Amino acid sequence: MSNYIPTIGVEVHCELKTNTKIFSNSVNGYGQMANSLTNVIDLGYPGTLPTLNKEVINLAIKAALILNCKIRPKMHFDRKNYFYPDNPKNYQITQAETPIGYDGYVEIDIDGKKKKIEIEEMHIEEDTCKSTHRGTKTLLDFNRAGVPLIEIVTKPCMESGEEAKLYLEKLKELLFYSDVSDCKMEEGSMRADANVSIRKNISDPYGTKAEIKNIGSISNVKLSIEKEIERQAKLYDNGEIFLPQTRRFDDKLNDTVLMRVKETGNDYRYFPEPDIPYVYITEKQIAEVRKTIPMLPDERKEKYQSLGISEVNAKKLVQNRSLSDYLNEFLDEKIDFKTASNLLLGDISGYLNKNEQEIINTHLTKEKFIELTNNISDGTLTSKNIKEILDTVMESDKNIKEIIKETGIQNITDSSAITEMIKKIIKENPCSVADYKAGKDRAIKYLMGQIMKESKGSLNPKMAMDILLEELNK
């Protein structure tokens, strides 16, 4: 197979996390009984008119800001006319001429370098209803009809499936963190289409384009793009040509499948929606929305690392937004953040997973968390202690001091007692001591293990280690 340069553009539809639909006051919800979240407006009954949900405009402004887009101060909606059963009015209200956001970008890290994925435009539109095909019949669920969407369209600026994957991961993280969307691809609240073409030289015009529609997961986006590049390359290698077409990714075949060859330019008969007047967006409104944007993942990671949290832990925290949000409450406190992050990602995460709970729903108050962290870093509590008391910490209103008292934890914090014990261990293990002196680090680990065993885990390992080294080096 010869070498080709792929050109990839991605279109993403995201459902906005609003309480109600975009053009009616029906509830915007997922997983409810079919057609229970509809009214005459969503169903396109005669004489009904759209209203405009202000929440949608604000969330779209938020998304535009996060995606570094310019925001249009005056915009309107357009009608996209086409007949399809999932389209109740047989026109979709969208923004063709004046998308709310344009000329933005998202930054990704690829091969250790930063790359800006350019965003052509971002517009608001309504979702269609959901159709389920049963044999020769099609069932329609209008709960989704009129759910607000933003469509984010990149420039044809990506060159690999990996780039597209990284872009989507970043996009998802950003939109999820800012509460713009749930971004659940499996529930359809985030959907991606990829446009793929290849060409021989950068100076050549773009090759024939194939659009892969409605890909179900980010990993499949990468895979389907790679498969599509391969397919096109084989065709070109064999001297074959093909027409612009729409394809889909088939999970089972693990390849893209032809849906239809594109007809000469779809005619959607766009025209300005006469039922919705111009929408004006003021600088003031943009400023208000800007205030609602929380600290975003990249900024969080940076902040965490600056507080002494390891890169791995910083990444893990950002992946678990509720823990990250929880930790953000303490950023101004003087605590040992390394310990705090270990605690959150270790025992606390374990507890939450086991009990299927969110951290904010537990009894782990800010005060208790700080107390707990401090007790670990000053050696008052060992990791064994934490395991013993964690359930009580998470489930009762008692403070840590009370819990320690009740549980009867008495750790050996008297250094002379510890020294006595360590001296005893050294005496009993002359071989290890000799190994240590011969430079074998393994010996230390063994000796520490013996010490912890002797103390039944009730002493602070750091303290024990310090004393052990002191004794050995005497």
Partner 1 sequence: MLDKSIQEIHEALKNKMIKPIDLVEEAFDRIEKNKELNAYITLNKEEAIKRAKELENKEVGNNLLFGLPIAVKDNIITKNLKTTCASHILENFIPIYNATVIEKINDNDMIIIGKTNMDEFAMGSSSRTSYFGAPKNPWNKEKISGGSSGGSATTIAAKDVLFALGTDTGGSIRQPASYTGIVGMKPTYGRVSRYGLVAFASSLDQIGPMTRNVYENALLLNIITGADEKDLTSADKESEDFTRLIGKDIKGMKIALPNYFMSDIVTKEIRTEVEKAKKILEENGATVDYIDMKYLDKVVILYQIISMGEASSNLARFDGIRYGYSIENPKNIEDLYLETRKNGFGKEVKRRIMVGSYLLSGENAKIYYNKALSIRDDIKKEFDKVFKNYDLIIGPTTTTTAYDLTDSMDDPSKSFMDDVLVIPVNMAGLPGLSLPIGFGKNHMPIGLHIIGNSFDESTIYQLASFLEKQVNLDLDPRKDDKNV
List interacting residues with partner 1 (CB under 8 A). Answer: 40, 43-52, 79, 81, 83, 85, 88-91, 138, 140, 265, 267, 269-272, 274-277
Please state the closest distance from residue 351 (CB atom) to partner 1, in A: 48
Please state the closest distance from residue 148 (CB atom) to partner 1, in A: 16
Nearer to partner 1, 74 or 114 (CB): 74
CA–CA separation, 141 vs 19, rounded Å? 19
CA–CA separation, 67 vs 119, rounded Å? 8
Would you list the DSSP string of 363-389?
S--HHHHHHHHHHHHTTSS-HHHHHHH
Nearer to partner 1, 24 or 154 (CB): 24
Nearer to partner 1, 49 or 438 (CB): 49
Nearer to partner 1, 140 or 153 (CB): 140
List Cβ neighbours of 37 (8 Å cut-off, separation of 6 or more).
26, 27, 28, 29, 142, 143
Nearer to partner 1, 206 or 271 (CB): 271
CA–CA separation, 451 vs 299, rounded Å? 42
Would you list the DSSP string of 228-279?
HHHHHHHHHHTT-----EEEEEETTTTEEEEEEEPPSS-----EE-TTS--E
DSSP 20: B
Nearer to partner 1, 73 or 272 (CB): 272
Nearer to partner 1, 31 or 265 (CB): 265
Nearer to partner 1, 23 or 326 (CB): 23
**Parallel, antiparallel, or unpaired for β 245-250 and 210-215?**
parallel
**Parallel, antiparallel, or unpaired for β 255-261 and 74-75?**
unpaired
Please state the closest distance from residue 273 (CB atom) to partner 1, in A: 8
Please state the closest distance from residue 288 (CB atom) to partner 1, in A: 22
Does an H or E element contain 318, and which? helix 311-319
CA–CA separation, 81 vs 211, rounded Å? 21
Please state the closest distance from residue 283 (CB atom) to partner 1, in A: 23
Looking at 37-143, list the stretches that DSSP marks H as alpha helix, in order from N- to C-terminal side: 54-66
Please state the closest distance from residue 43 (CB atom) to partner 1, in A: 6
Please state the closest distance from residue 30 (CB atom) to partner 1, in A: 22
Please state the closest distance from residue 41 (CB atom) to partner 1, in A: 9
Please state the closest distance from residue 264 (CB atom) to partner 1, in A: 10
Q: Locate 31 and state its tokens.
A: 């997983």
Other CB atoms within 10 Å distance of the CB of residue 302: 12
Look at residues 395, 423, 397, 392 and name the one whose alpha carbon lies nearest to residue 409.
Answer: 392
Contact 59, 16 (CB under 8 A): yes
Nearer to partner 1, 136 or 410 (CB): 136
